[in-house]
Structure 1
Amino acid sequence: MSTATEFTLHWIIDPLCGWSYGALPLLQATADAWPAQNQLHAGGLFMGYSRRRIDADWHLHVRDHDARIAQLTGATFGDQYREQLCRDQSVVLDSLPASAVMLELQHFSASDALAFLSAAQHAWYVEGKDITQTAVLEDIAANLAISNDMWQQLSSKAASESAAKAIEQTRQLMAQTGAQGFPSLLVQRGEQFINVPVNRFYGEPAALVNQLKQALSA
């Protein structure tokens, strides 16, 4: 029988994904229960050819989705986000900047990486700040007491290149395991990966932890 340390929880998310934002309490709950086994992956929702500028069609699309996310998860979407950021057609949706900082930070501290993700998504979805911009991400890092020397590493070209490679590997993992969309949660034991239906647990982090505990003790 596998012991409690012989598994990894792989969370596949995107900083610019509303459903990933709604799943933050679930991520935090599993991180609290299993801090050493919780791992964040970036899925690259808006990367390369998928990058796009905010326009009227996108605004209408996310308006309906955000209402559904708020209903199911209890997530808060601020007025600055809904009325200003979602209408700002100068903004180009690009997942890489925030993803690169999160992934690089995770090399040093998983808890700091999750704290950064949470702060970045709060900045985007509540405060209406454009987290595709380096200056915005730098302010978030400073508020988290991340040193200037550390920030230089987190925001470096090398970190972005490493993140791009990691995102490609994550996409391959999703294809191999049948994981679809963001967020996805995979439980790994040895070479085996099990998809967890995250959508069943929105708004119920304790229920997710209990379900995982039962599955991991089997």
Structure 2
Amino acid sequence: MTQFTYIYDTYCGWCYGASNVIGALIDSGAEVQLMHRHLFQGPNAHRMADGFGQTALQYDRRIAGLTGMEFSQRYADNVLLNAEEILDSSKTAQAAALVHDKGAKAEFALAKALQKARYVDGKPAVDEQPVYEALKAAGVTEELSGGKARAAEISSEAARILSRVGARGVPALLMHKDGQTRVISVADYYDNPAAVTALAA
């Protein structure tokens, strides 16, 4: 049986760009485990005022060109050009941990809702309202803090997996088949996301 592990961070622009590919794989009925890496915390919680916003803007334009995903002007104004914004995915990591055991469809739906809130609606990371709205849609009423320990566990395990396979960063799609694990290039499917489903056959 072919299984997949998808390691991501909600606030990673490239992970947002991979959404259609991963969504197609999950919708096909393939067995997929999602793991939130929680990259953006501590020293990696970048301040837009320190120049990261301009750097991200350039990357996001490239991602949009390759994938067709929307990065709105509201996002640019309210997030990337907001001197107060800090790229901290702690809230989304905790939310992902709270729905993790509900399966890939539930966690992916949560990620999509949170990515829309950020990249389309322009909601900054400090805004908890979209996070709680997405959790409510997933049937979760627990406080975000309840997912903190679990989020750390998932992130640590994801880091170990990435290290074992020699993968660098996220998004990382891993295919497990016949006792072997192979890193799949999500970029190969940008032009035709549905083609990724052939891997599960």
Specify if TM > 0.5.
yes
8 Å CA contact 1:80–1:127 kept in 2: the answer is: yes
Equivalent residue, structure 1, for 2:163: 175
Match of 1:112 among 102, 106, 118: 106
1-structure distance, mates of 2:69, 2:131: 21
> Structure 2 matches for 1:121-132, cutoff 5 A?
121-132=115-126
Which of 139, 153, 156 is residue 145 of structure 2 equivalent to?
A: 156
Please name the residue that 2:183 is paired with. Answer: 195
Q: 1:11 aligns with which of 1, 6, 20?
A: 6
Partners of 1:106 and 1:25 lie apart in 2 by 20
| Helix, strand or coil at the partner of 1:10 | strand
Where does structure 1 lack aligned partners over 5 or more consecutive residues?
1-5
Moved more, 101-110 or 80-89: 101-110
**Contact kept? 2:85, 2:125, Cα under 8 Å:** no
- Find the counterpart in structure 1 of residue 62 from structure 2: 68
Are 1:78 and 2:67 counterparts? no
CA contact (8 A) 2:78 2:124 kept: no
Q: Which residue of 1 is the match for residue 90 of structure 2?
A: 96
Stretch moving more, 96-105 or 188-197? 188-197
Cα distance in 1, alignment partners of residues 8 and 19 from structure 2: 10
Tell me the CA shift for residue 104 of structure 1: 2.3
**Which one has a bigger Cα radius of gyration?**
1
Q: Is the 8 A contact 1:123 1:131 kept in 2?
A: no
Distance 1:140 1:131 in 2: 14
When the two structures are aligned, how many residues end up with a matched partner? 201
Query: Take 1:77 and 1:33, find their aligned partners in 2: how far apart are those partners?
Result: 27
SS, match of residue 142 in structure 2? helix
Contact 1:9 1:188 survives alignment (8 Å): yes
TM normalised by structure 1 equals 0.85
Dislocated runs of 4+, deviation >6 Å:
none
Q: Which residue is equivalent to 2:194?
A: 206
Deviation at 1:196, TM superposition (A): 0.6
Is 1:139 aligned to 2:133, yes or no? Answer: yes
Percent identity of paired positions between Structure 1 and Structure 2? 26
Equivalent pair of 2:110/2:135 in contact (CA under 8 Å): yes
- For residue 110 of structure 1, report the CA deviation from its aligned partner: 2.5
List per-residue Cα deviations over 1:12-50 (Å, max 9, x = no partner). 111111110011001110001125x11111122212321
Q: Are 2:26 and 1:38 equivalent residues in the alignment?
A: no
Of 17, 23, 41 in structure 2, the residue corresponding to residue 22 of structure 1 is 17
- 1-structure distance, mates of 2:135, 2:102: 14
Tell me, in whole angstroms, the C-alpha distance in 2 between the residues paired with 1:74 and 1:44. Answer: 25
Structure 2: runs of 5 or more not aligned: none
